[in-house]
Amino acid sequence: MCLSIPSKVVSIDSENEMCTVDTMGVKREASLSMMKEGEVKIGDFVLIHIGFVMNTIDPKEAELSLETYKEILDFFDEEELKNTIKNGDECVNKTI
């Protein structure tokens, strides 16, 4: 199962259709190629799947989700926490 952590857009590179997002303190790049031009702005919360911004999310919903994630992540040690946030969008669908 994939869980997408709301990420805040901190910069946009329109020329390369990329943005930098902050996911609970971890900054990384994400592609904007799945979004229409101008649909994502600095300060927006977005959901990312396999490195692509898939949609924006309401700021209040994003904050509620982040609070829940923080409660869950309190059970992780620091290294597990960093890896979970950093690799959280690299989910591979698996069948049983």
pLDDT tens readout for residues 27-67: 999 999 999 988 999 999 999 999 999 999 999 999 999 99
pTM: 0.75
7-86: which CATH topology? SH3 type barrels. (2.30.30)
User: In sequence order, which ranges of 1-96 are alpha helices (DSSP H)?
Assistant: 59-73, 78-86
Task: Tell me which of 14-18, 23-27, 49-53, 73-77 is least confident.
Answer: 73-77
Structural domain boundaries in the chain: 7-86
Q: Long-range CB contacts (< 8 A, 24+ apart) of 17-23?
A: 19/46, 19/53, 21/46, 21/48, 21/53, 23/48, 23/85, 23/88
